[in-house]
Amino acid sequence: MAGSQANGATIAAIDRALGLDKPLPVQYGIYIVHLLHGNMGVSNRDQAPVALHIAAAFGPTLWLTLASMIVAILVGLVAGVVASVHHNRFLDYTTTSAAMFGISLPSFVLGLALIWIFAVDLRWFPTGGNGSPSALVLPAITLGAGAAATIARITRSEMLDVLGQDYVRTARAKGQRESIIVNRHALRNALIPIVTVIGLQFGFLISGAIIVETVFTWPGIGRLLIDSITLRDYPVIQGVILVFALEFIVVNLLTDVLYTRVDPRIRYS
């Protein structure tokens, strides 16, 4: 902040202004008090409030994460159900292999491949930025691929467990259609662990969008974190990490609340 040629007096003045001349416990206490009043400090690069930087970047990241979760939930649930219904058959092996590939493939490799094919060669989508709705497609697929693979694996596992229960065999013995058995009886009773995984994946996607936002030059909170690390903008770095921690707490709380909608037997007093 003082520049490479700053003298001792300038550095001491900045220390006093930032409170760095006080003991660490006092500095921490001041930071917490300011935080409780919504003051996350000011950026080193432009002296703007950290909260403004985070607020401007959080919106694009939230849209990207929501789009990615839609992709992950749709693909993951369908793939997991199909694999469980066709257990130990071609569709099961194909879906399981695709899920393993999706979990193992690094997001920056998938992102660059999608850019090369669909943006450079076919010119269907822009290579980056957020200037149009179509710019959301490739980063959403890239970010959601790993989550879809995880959801597919847990859905397959839970569905196989439920499909072997007595009440499912009873429903089949009564002659109910397979689609009703799978959707109404099996999937509904397998949703609790699936919802748990979806909630965790949503939290991971928000904080894990750093690489994808960098590849696609998406102006989100992950890109803000990378830029702040490059510029050694420590107040913004602290603010971003704090937001990542808070969103995990909020997502886990909402997931617990959602349990009561998925399973009416669960009630919180």
Q: pLDDT tens digits for the chain (269 residues)?
A: 777 788 888 888 888 888 888 999 998 998 899 888 888 888 888 888 999 999 998 889 888 989 999 999 999 888 888 888 888 888 888 888 888 888 888 888 988 999 999 988 888 888 887 778 888 899 999 988 888 998 988 888 888 888 777 777 777 787 777 777 777 777 777 777 888 888 888 878 877 788 888 888 888 888 899 989 988 888 999 999 999 888 888 888 888 777 777 666 666 55
100-112 confidence digits (pLDDT tens): 888 888 888 988 9
User: Hey, what are 24's tokens?
Assistant: 């660490």
Q: Which distant-in-sequence residues (6+ apart) come within 8 Å of 200 by Cβ?
A: 251, 252, 255
All domains of the chain in start order, with CATH: 1-38 (no CATH), 51-262 (1.10.3720.10)
pLDDT at 268 (0 to 100): 59
Question: Is-contact 261 245, C-beta < 8 A?
Answer: no
d(CA 62, CA 219): 11
pLDDT at 236 (0 to 100): 92
123-153 confidence digits (pLDDT tens): 888 888 777 888 889 999 998 888 899 898 8
Q: What is the DSSP string of 92-136?
A: HHHHHHHHHHHHHS-HHHHHHHHIIIIIIIS--S-SSSSSSGGGG
**Start-to-end CA span in the chain (Å):** 52
d(CA 183, CA 162): 12
Q: What is the DSSP string of the chain?
A: ---TT--HHHHHHHHHHHTTTS-HHHHHHHHHHHHHTT---B-TTT--BHHHHHHHHHHHHHHHHHHHHHHHHHHHHHHHHHHHHTTTSHHHHHHHHHHHHHHHS-HHHHHHHHIIIIIIIS--S-SSSSSSGGGGHHHHHHHHHHHHHHHHHHHHHHHHHHHTSHHHHHHHHTT--HHHIIIIIIIHHTHHHHHHHHHHHHHHHHHTTHHHHHHTT--SHHHHHHHHHHTT-HHHHHHHHHHHHHHHHHHHHHHHHHHHHH-TT----
The backbone torsions φ and ψ at residue 70, rounded to the nearest 5 degrees and listed phi first, read -60, -45
